[in-house]
Structure 1
């Protein structure tokens, strides 16, 4: 497993690097500033990002949000700041495991495993949400296309739906794609 270390503190991060190497992880080139995080993630393709910080700065949180949106990865953050509002903000920026005051080498592997499990669970929820949103969008398109057929061609709802299905089968397309074509044509013709 490839680990990207981000050191956002003044203290040396060598102990964390050594503990990860001893646990069998591949530790990638360290990132010294949060501003370089997205570029490092895109170029080094880590499996997990670990950030050591006294208290995450606004720049760090903004960069994490960008990474979470553009190249999501499990993120473990070790911090000295246990403020409740900060923890909510950090989790909202995409951190999957936030550990306060505890960089014990023996705890690293379980913490990373929790971050991986939470990240996979969140990814599954995001995929399911995207699928449901896509289905809802498709359903709206189909309803709109049926409405157009009912209005313009004087069809009943079942007839309009049957016409959409027949056209989809004839063209080898999904029902939503045929609906999209009908709506585009209606928009073009006015």
Structure 2
């Protein structure tokens, strides 16, 4: 698990904000708010001593860049609509889940749904303060750890249930073939698994495979 308080985490910032190219755009209060948030975010990360390994755009090369960089945590510094970036993160997170924090000025239901689907651990809408950057990231990492623990426990439970079914089926084969009781069939399985240095479920699967071959 990641340490929520560690500043050594390798962080990548994805910036989707378009910077103004002329004075008229520069007077846009909405854009100014986004740019101010970006400045505050950079200052907050710097003051907290975080290890920002890259700041990259949310373009068509995003997946490739993240695959190469392998960050511990991803920050999205987003415009009001970051759905394309979030869709890419869904693909990246399937094989390498990690905490994702999204900062934006305007939230909307569709982006929130996309954020949840992408595995975003913290979704911060407007009002970013420099001294709040570190606590937000710490909470995001803690939530990610809790979610991963729950996912792992669920996976282990499903795996155990699946293995139990395989063992029960193999017991049924032995009971039918040798006229054994359920307990005797289980003990036979257990003894053979120990003799062959196999896990009980692996031996059970072999028995089922042979039974299928023999019809």
- Cα pair distance change 1:131/1:10, threshold 3 Å: same
Decide whether the 8 Å contact of 1:50 with 1:76 is kept in 2: yes
- Cα pair distance change 1:109/1:182, threshold 3 Å: same
Q: Using the TM superposition, give the Cα deviation of residue 26 of structure 1 relative to its aligned residue in structure 2, in angstroms.
A: 1.3
- 1:87-109 superposed Cα distances (whole Å, 9 cap, x missing partner): 23312221000000133211100
Decide whether the 8 Å contact of 1:17 with 1:27 is kept in 2: no
Decide whether the 8 Å contact of 2:105 with 2:125 is kept in 1: yes
Moved more, 30-39 or 172-181: 30-39
1:155 aligns with 2:180: yes
- In the other structure, the counterpart of 2:86 is 61
- In the other structure, the counterpart of 1:43 is 68
Q: How many residues align?
A: 190
Moved more, 31-40 or 73-82: 31-40
Decide whether the 8 Å contact of 2:62 with 2:88 is kept in 1: yes
Distance 1:67 1:97 in 2: 17
Distance 1:26 1:158 in 2: 58
- In the other structure, the counterpart of 2:128 is 103
Distance 1:184 1:35 in 2: 46
Q: Using the TM superposition, give the Cα deviation of residue 31 of structure 1 relative to its aligned residue in structure 2, in angstroms.
A: 1.5
Decide whether the 8 Å contact of 1:19 with 1:105 is kept in 2: yes
1:89 aligns with 2:152: no
Unpaired segments of 5 or more residues in structure 1?
none
- In the other structure, the counterpart of 1:4 is 12
Distance 2:127 2:65 in 1: 25
1:131 aligns with 2:156: yes
TM-score calculated relative to the size of structure 1:
0.91
- In the other structure, the counterpart of 2:28 is none
> Matched residue of 1:30: which SS?
strand
> Matched residue of 1:29: which SS?
strand
Decide whether the 8 Å contact of 2:87 with 2:118 is kept in 1: yes
TM-score calculated relative to the size of structure 2:
0.81
Distance 2:141 2:94 in 1: 17
Distance 1:34 1:118 in 2: 28
Q: Using the TM superposition, give the Cα deviation of residue 14 of structure 1 relative to its aligned residue in structure 2, in angstroms.
A: 4.8
Distance 2:109 2:193 in 1: 53
User: Highest CA radius of gyration, 1 or 2?
Assistant: 2
Decide whether the 8 Å contact of 2:105 with 2:126 is kept in 1: yes
- Cα pair distance change 1:183/1:83, threshold 3 Å: same
Decide whether the 8 Å contact of 2:41 with 2:130 is kept in 1: yes
- CA RMSD of the aligned region, Å? 1.8
